[in-house]
Amino acid sequence: MLHAARCQAERFGYQEIEVPVVEPEALVERGVGGDTDVVRKEIYRIQPMVEGGGTPLVLRPEATAGIVRAYFEGNLNQGPQPVRLWTAGSMFRHDRPQAGRYRQFQQFDVEAIGDPGAAFDAEVVELTWGWYRDLGVEGLTLELNSIGDARCRPAYLERLRDYFVAYRDRLGADDQRRLETNPLRLLDSKEPALVELREGAPRITDFLCDECVAHWDEVRSLLDAAGIGYRLNPYLVRGLDYYTRTVWEYQHESLGGAQNSLGGGGRYDGLAEALGYPPTPAVGFAGGLDRIVLVLDAQRGGPRGRPAADLLLLPDGEGLEVAAATVARHARTATSVAADYSRRSLRAKMRAASRSGARWVAIMNPDEAGRRVVQLRELDSGEQREVTWADLPAALAPGTHPGDLA
Ligand code: AMP
């Protein structure tokens, strides 16, 4: 999964960056927003063992704020823009652990910092869409919305508040507070009452200023040109002021209900300023790896590991360890190889090999070892032929079938 992330990021010219796992509390609070569930309920604070010691620290719940800080502190803002970066690693959020929601989970992050152009919103969508495609995720839904910017959003928020105020007594305590502090969040609430009420609420896309409309139109036409299907979702929001314009989310129904988000992204032109740096436009994405495992397992009808090796070497007989290690050494110049040194029967080794998901097996008895050959079999097709040790790397090259060398 990480390999696919790296390949896809590199294909788009994104460079890897590593940022700290332990961060100052202030950076995370400003980056994630003091009034979000993440900061209010989910942050792990680190208590130093020494009395009254030092800067309050937390385990990072996301990586974007750390990457934006690195962009400035590492003078990446001085070079050509935008700066395209990616990272992957552990994030931490306190919650009741359940399927798809863990205290420690892995994220793939992609950030394009330093350019306001809609082309970068579309680029990050295309990159991440392709990542899911490369992983074989089927049935992915991309939801898309624009939430305007500092020019047009305030007037919209007033209208939204006016709308919901009339229904205040139907809102829970948390939502009544959000009505005052952050009415946008009412739109993505999972509360049944709100899901019903929001149907009649004003829609942000009807309130966008001319610049935001132009940006929104461009993002959609770039995605159309890329052949990426999406669903417009007027209730998809990011509850923080620093988010601007495009927001999107990848959803998968097999995750069900509250955990159906596989990943999400958005433009965050106001974040750098919120962190105390000069205003700098940027767009980014964060996608969880753990939930992809759940989706792929559901798709395949149960958990299935990736094959540990492409070729399994099956020595059939006693005293073949040196020969098997030599063959493996040859074959590793072409692909990944593991040998089954167990004393099981060949039948049992074959059964295990089929279950492992390996593409090939190479069988070798003492007579074949003496002649420096193996029986190379492609498991899916059942095609098999004798190959010399020297020819093995060529026979294993991508796109080769046993018959090709006959
Ligand atoms: P967010 O940073 O909240 O937009 O989350 C981005 C993605 O990270 C989500 O779509 C999930 O795939 C993943 N994610 C967030 N929180 C968790 C968690 N507690 N456990 C597992 N994955 C998570």
The DSSP result for 85-140, as a single string, is EEEEEEEE--S--BTTB-SEEEEEEEEEES---HHHHHHHHHHHHHHHHHHT--S-
Please check whether residue 323 is in contact with residue 358, taking contact to mean a CB–CB distance below 8 angstroms: no
- Domain ranges in the chain? 2-144+221-299, 153-207, 311-405
pLDDT at position 405: 45
Residues 235-269 have pLDDT tens digits of: 999 867 788 999 999 999 887 766 689 999 999 99
Residue type, 68: V
Q: Best substitution site from 28, 42, 43, 91 to test ligand 1's pocket, by max atoms within 8 Å of Cβ?
A: 91
Residues 5-24 have pLDDT tens digits of: 999 999 999 999 999 999 99
Q: If you ran DSSP here, which 8-state letter would residue 277 be given? A: S
Q: Is the pLDDT of residue 97 over 90?
A: no
pLDDT at position 246: 97
Q: 329 alpha carbon to ligand 1 midpoint, in Å?
A: 41
Q: If you ran DSSP here, which 8-state letter would residue 381 be given? A: T
Q: In sequence order, what are the residues at sequence separation of 6 or more whose Cβ sits closer than 8 angstroms to the Cβ of residue 87?
A: 16, 17, 18, 19, 63, 67, 108, 109
pLDDT at position 398: 67
pLDDT at position 363: 97
Q: Is 62 in the pocket of ligand 1 (CB under 6 A)?
A: yes
- Domain covering 311-405 assigned CATH 3.90.1650.10 in the classification: no
Residues 310-344 have pLDDT tens digits of: 999 999 999 999 999 999 999 999 999 999 999 99
Q: Is the pLDDT of residue 70 over 70?
A: yes
pLDDT, averaged across the chain: 91
Band of the pLDDT at 191, cuts 50, 70, 90? confident
Please check whether residue 58 is in contact with residue 45, taking contact to mean a CB–CB distance below 8 angstroms: yes
Q: Is the pLDDT of residue 53 over 80?
A: no
Q: If you ran DSSP here, which 8-state letter would residue 391 be given? A: T
CATH of domain 2-144+221-299: 3.30.930.10
Q: Please indicate whether residue 38 or residue 202 has the higher confidence score (pLDDT).
A: 202
- Measured from the Cα of 101, ligand 1's closest atom is 20
- Measured from the Cα of 249, ligand 1's closest atom is 10
The alpha-helical segments, DSSP class H, found in 226-320 are 271-274, 290-300
Q: Is the pLDDT of residue 404 over 70?
A: no
Q: Best substitution site from 107, 108, 250, 268 to test ligand 1's pocket, by max atoms within 8 Å of Cβ?
A: 107
Residue 272, helix vs strand vs coil: helix
- Measured from the Cα of 250, ligand 1's closest atom is 10
Q: Is the pLDDT of residue 402 over 60?
A: no
Q: Is the pLDDT of residue 145 over 90?
A: yes
Q: Is the pLDDT of residue 69 over 90?
A: yes
Task: Give the DSSP per-residue string, 309-353.
Answer: -SEEEEE-SSS-HHHHHHHHHHHTTTS-EEE--S-S-HHHHHHHH
| Rounded CA separation 109/21 (Å) | 14
Band of the pLDDT at 395, cuts 50, 70, 90? very high
Please check whether residue 211 is in contact with residue 120, taking contact to mean a CB–CB distance below 8 angstroms: no
Please check whether residue 368 is in contact with residue 388, taking contact to mean a CB–CB distance below 8 angstroms: no
Write out the two tokens for 285. Answer: 């994405």
Q: Are strands 244-251 and 261-267 parallel, antiparallel or unpaired?
A: antiparallel
Q: Is the pLDDT of residue 47 over 70?
A: yes
Q: 4 alpha carbon to ligand 1 midpoint, in Å?
A: 19
Beta bridge partners, 85, equal 15, 111
